[in-house]
Copies of this chain bind each other. A is one copy, B any other.
Amino acid sequence: MTVSGQIEPIARMIAQLARLPGIGSKTAQRLAYFILGQPEDQVRELAAAIWQGRKAIRYCSVCGNYTTQDPCAICADPKRQSGVLCVVRDPRDVASIERMRDYRGGYHVLHGTISPMEGVGPDDIRIRELLARIQQQDVQEIILATNPDIEGEATAAYIARLLKPLGVKVTRIAHGLPIGADLEYTDEVTLAMAIECRREM
């Protein structure tokens, strides 16, 4: 018996689940008891999906996205425009943009954003690799798609400054009101951006 009144294998399962983000000890306990009530086959599938998934995934040596083959399916696709690169912070951002099914260029995953507060400088994220790609490939446009937060903006500004002398077109994703939003509930900074970046109709 452990402190929490659980026998060891259950306590261990709860402790491991509680390490996941947003999963507190109460939720971890609920999940553990759900798992214990499931047929063995299904639990084996869950554990296998977690472990084998993690083991199968590596980084694409070109764009830095998660992949099972190198280069990844996007970098290896001849139908995608290699002259446009969308720069994002994380692999999950690639998945978000891909879900849109609209973008046909390539990616460059930074694996972080510049954050002096957390001791992350330009050399700690994949900016060097981006410069190397621009020198090797024929890149016409770099779309900076880091998040519109302090770190994301600072990172975008840093990269834009770095690339300008190389003669590459550098763009930033638009800031403004999300579709379905309400002027009344929009914060002032977003509203100011939406007005500043207004376009003619």
Contact = CB atoms under 8 A, between A and B. Distances in A.
B13 A36 contact: no
Interface stretch (A88-96, A144-152, A160-168, A179-187): A88-96
A132 interface: no
A33 B6 CA distance: 29
The size bracket of the interface on A is: 35 or more
A48 B47 contact: yes
B36 A1 contact: no
Interface in A20-47: 20-23, 27, 29-36, 38, 40, 42-47
Given A31-B21, A66-B36, A96-B5, A10 B47 contact: no
Interface stretch (A49-57, A79-87, A117-125, A133-141): A49-57
Interface of A: 1, 4-10, 12-13, 15-17, 19-23, 27, 29-36, 38, 40, 42-57, 66-68, 72-73, 90-92, 94-99, 101
